[in-house]
Structure 1
Amino acid sequence: MLRLMPVGDSMTIGSAGEHTWRYRLWQHLCGAYGGPFTFVGPREALRDPATDEPTSYAYADPDFPRAHLAGWGEGWCHMAPLIGEAVRTFRADVLLVSLGLIDLGFYTNAEQTAANVRTFVDEARAARPGIRMVLLPVIPNIRAQQDAPFAAQVTEFNERLAKTAADLDTPASPVLLATPAPSYDIHTDTYDGTHPNASGEHKLAASFADAMWQSWDLGGPYEVRDRGNGR
């Protein structure tokens, strides 16, 4: 069985009442992947907006493998120390990673964040040498639109992430750089300028699905019918 682990920040964990891009990807792979698969990880909850804690299980549709390693306000600097144990314990085959916005916003600059990416990859491989990874760059967000120095850090980090992925990619343990949807728009694909709404969830899921399909022949292209109009 193929075991995929979603790793991320608030855009991956999601909030009470949401489907999450994890659910959208699950739906897609159920129709596109020919073998058994599941999502794995040490966490299952969503963020509860009332308490700002990851204690809610109120998914819009809870009927899917909800396991993940994601947290509201967590970044590469938080996940690098956790990924080895998580991979080892849950025997992940593929990591689907969406991180960086929090790091650049509160903890580390572009260069330091890229160094944490390398640590993350090293720790994951130490736990499972043949693990595969798909890394999503920092996607458009309201702060980058309003804060020029922050936008410059995002651009620099995404350039460094691309170089890091290319440097670390090996046949035994591939590292892919996913491509954000060119049509991703913070005004129509998020509910607050940062966090995805339903259409944004589909576009994030598509970034991961298309990367795995194009590079590994895993699954299939994320069709227009999968992207939907918010349901």
Structure 2
Amino acid sequence: MTAQLTEPALAWRADPYAEALRSGRGPLYLCRSDGWLLPLDVERWCAAPDAADVTVLDRCRGRVLDIGCGPGRLVSALAVRGHRALGVDITPEAVARTVRAGGSALCRSVFDPLPCEGHWDTVLLIDGNVGIGGDPSVLLRRAARLASPHGSLLVEVATTEVDERVEVHVDDGRGGRGAPFRWARLGSGALRATAATAGWSRSHTWRAAERSFVSLHR
């Protein structure tokens, strides 16, 4: 049974985010209480995988779980490549788009019970999804329980060295906004430090198309 939706889950179901996914375009932002804005790249999320995404796809092995899959560009591309791939997202419109694109997805939180726990060969946290829940150590421990004993975790991190836990809301820049929720942003150094206490012992970093990634291993 799916757990009752938390406030962060409800925030991502807010009209600005769902509407952006329906239309396939922004503008859309994460807005901090001090007015700082983080642009969300809705158009890229809703397009085919780009060159940086391909570097992630090439590193996927076996069964793949995409946490916070959004509109499903990676899940659908993995299916074409012959992987058993599943996306998980709390936004119904994201799940619907993933299915329409040919992928498989569940409308569920990563902290809900999920299929094949402990048996996913590759787990993905792309597009800043290491911020889910606002506490990366909790999320990374959950990912370790989802992965197989020899599994890997591919994480997209901030391009600068940052380590912050903040309260944000989704904002469309035109007056539409969602409820506040906790989020986190990590650079590669902060991620590796956090991962070391969460069941991940080895790491490799790479950059592609001005995006930064870390591969972690059990």
* Pairwise TM-score range, normalised by the shorter structure: 0.3 to 0.5
TM-score after normalising by structure 1: 0.40
Q: Which has the higher helix share?
A: 1
- Normalised to the residue count of structure 2, the TM-score between the two structures is 0.42
Greater per-residue strand proportion? 2
